[in-house]
Amino acid sequence: MKQGNSINGRDFREMFTAATNWLEKSASDIDALNVFPVPDGDTGTNMLLTMHSTIEEADRTTNGKISVVSQAMAKGALIGARGNSGVILSQIWLGLAQGLAGKDTFNGCDLANALSQASVMAYKGLSNPVEGTILTVIKDAAAAAQEQAAKDKNDVISVMEAAVNAANESVANTPRLLPVLKEAGVVDAGGQGLYTLLEGALRYLNGEAEMMQFRKPQMIASNIPLTPMVFTAPERIAIEEIPFGYCTEFMLKGRDLNPDKLRKSLKRKGESLIVVGDESTVRVHIHTLNPGNVVRYVTSLGTIHSVNIRNMDEQHQDFLEMQRQRAPATGVAIVAVVPGERLIEVFSSLGVTAVVPGGQTMNPSTKDLLQAAEKSASDKVIILPNNKNIVLTAGQVQSLTTKNVKVVPSKTIPQGVAALLAFDYEADFETNVNIMTEALSTVKSIEVTHAVRSTKLNGLSIKKKQAIGFLDEALIAVGDKTAEVVYEVLAKAEPDKADVVTIYYGDEAKEAEANEINDTISAQYPNLQVEVVNGGQPHYEYIISIE
């Protein structure tokens, strides 16, 4: 349906009827985006059911004015809102209706203004708005629509295209804003749902209604690498498991209701609070440990309807089981011990499932490694210690769990990287353990740090604070200049027989010096491919891999 510069209420309803059908095709895929620790997760289904109510209410009106139709849709969304995402979606519809109030039709400028009002209302409904969610997506879409409307205020399609493109980019960016998404390597489910709706409406405007019957929406991928779970050491203090409580939803009807006042009163009774509505009807969503207290309070203000209380602890267990079932039969979780945030990013990009921070001077306990293994979705776990002092500790995990745990005895960071690069996603568990273990011998490791005291070792006289260099854990060189120690150790590592040298510089090293070392090695050994990476590791100025 590609047409002129204005849209009436009937066309608007048909746009979003098509968009709802488009959303239905991917509702289960959106459901699957739910990530721990958000257990009340049926985002795609909840948004779809909310839209069904939205369209049903629109179908009841015979008036073709956009103001009337959009108001009916807002009412339907509020009445039928399901879950956190559905309630926020109802606020978006309320904002759209407010932005289109008093109009018979709308143009591109009107649409941009309505989207901006939708963003305002979406944020207003939450007691603690969080970026990296559907809120960010509607905000970014509205901003892009306003920018396009300033260029061509009459063209509805160009404004809608700008909003859809911005929504796509915003969804892909959500993991950068919300750590739990980054950890799981997925985008925000609510944001994906909103993008799918907007995309469906645009496709209808572009005359693609028939094509939409035979195609399915594409899920947006995160634009950053998967970040593994990071487990901090809990060995000194036992951490109590905090219950999720109950996801409590209902509609409150009465007279002279005050949503803002109600929101303030309920804020002390739980989390993830959303309160939206008007003087006669208010929709509430809250996570609480005691739903009875909430229900007793609101029944003093009016009557409650469509009550839905779900035990989120049970949902979380169901979610974990679902994750296990979805893992491929040969699915393997890899737990790695890694020092420093930058190196964690390196291991993340190579597919590690979970990271236990640790290394030299901060060896994790068996309990730390066990916790990481138990939290992994797979029943097959490979542990990469990446330090000689952690290999034996890692070997204790198997006796403490029913999972199948194997240790690939990497003693250095370069060995851990080599093992990950050897991992074969088509091979079975035992085969991968073997090929990863064999890969340890294909790499040599240089580690350069500073002496903490004066001593004599391996025929070398070492003064406190001098640079010292190790080759595969053997002390090889000492000197006053760090770079000179690097060159001396590298010369003894048979670089002429190698292909690749990777220099990971630590948090006490300077990037300029690392680049200078890179240039010197490249000039001296032209056969080598040399790469510099900000490892950010503590204690060791340089960790160098030679392959």
Assign domain 327-442 to its CATH architecture. 3-Layer(aba) Sandwich (3.40)
- What does the block give as tokens for 415? 């060995």
Structural contact between residues 171 and 195, judged by C-beta atoms closer than 8 angstroms? yes
Provide CATH 1.25.40.340 ranges for the chain.
7-230
Please give the pLDDT value at position 223. 66
Quote the tokens at residue 186.
């997925």
Q: Give 58-64's long-range contacts (Cβ < 8 A, gap of 24+).
A: 58/13, 58/16, 59/13, 61/9, 63/9, 64/8, 64/9, 64/10
Instruction: From 104, 87, 102, 15, select the one nearest 58 (Cα to Cα).
Output: 15
DSSP 380-420: EEEEE--STTTHHHHHTGGGG-SSEEEE----SHHHHHHHH
Ramachandran category for residue 372: left, alpha or beta (phi over 0 → left; psi -120 to 50 → alpha): alpha
Q: Which tokens go with 296?
A: 């007793």
Contact 125, 111 (CB under 8 A): no
* Confidence (pLDDT) at 184: 62
Q: Give dist(CA 523, CA 256) in Å, integer.
A: 79
Q: Can you give the pLDDT at residue 215?
A: 87
Give the closest residue to 249 by CA, choosing from 431, 525, 40: 40
Q: Which amino acid is at 354?
A: A
Euclidean distance between CA atoms 70 and 52, whole angstroms: 14
Which residue, chain included where needed, has tokens 């998967």? 226
Q: Tell me the CATH number for domain 444-546.
A: 3.30.1180.10
How many other β-carbons are positioned within 10 Å of the β-carbon of residue 245?
A: 21
DSSP, collapsed to helix, strand or coil, labels residue 502 as: strand
What is the four-CA torsion angle of 84, 90, 91, 94, rounded to 10 degrees?
-170
Q: Strand (E) positions, 51-171? A: 105-106
Average pLDDT by consecutive 10-residue portion of the chain (547 residues)? 71 95 90 53 83 94 94 91 84 95 95 96 84 95 95 89 95 86 78 96 92 86 61 40 72 91 87 85 88 89 88 62 45 86 82 79 78 85 89 86 93 91 85 93 91 80 89 89 92 90 90 92 90 87 91
**Which DSSP category does 312 fall into?**
H
- Portions of the chain given CATH number 3.40.50.510: 327-442
CATH of 246-315, one of 3.30.300.30, 3.30.70.260, 3.40.190.10, 3.30.200.20: 3.30.70.260
CATH fold group of domain 7-230: 1.25.40
Tokens of 166: 């911005």
CA 485 vs. chain centroid, Å, equals 41
The set of residues, in sequence order, having a beta carbon less than 8 Å from that of 463 and lying 6+ positions away, is 451, 454
Question: 38 - beta bridge partners?
Answer: none
Range 273-280 contact pairs with CB under 8 angstroms and sequence separation of 24 or more: 273/126, 273/127, 273/128, 274/84, 274/87, 274/88, 274/125, 274/126, 274/127, 275/125, 275/127, 276/78, 276/81, 276/87, 276/90, 276/91, 276/94, 276/125, 277/78, 277/252, 279/255, 280/253, 280/254, 280/255
CATH code 3.30.1180.10 region(s) in the chain: 444-546
C-beta separation of 398 from 373 below 8 A: no
Which residues belong to CATH 3.30.70.260 in the chain? 246-315
Backbone angles phi, psi at 409, to 5 degrees: -75, 60
Letter for the amino acid at 47?
M
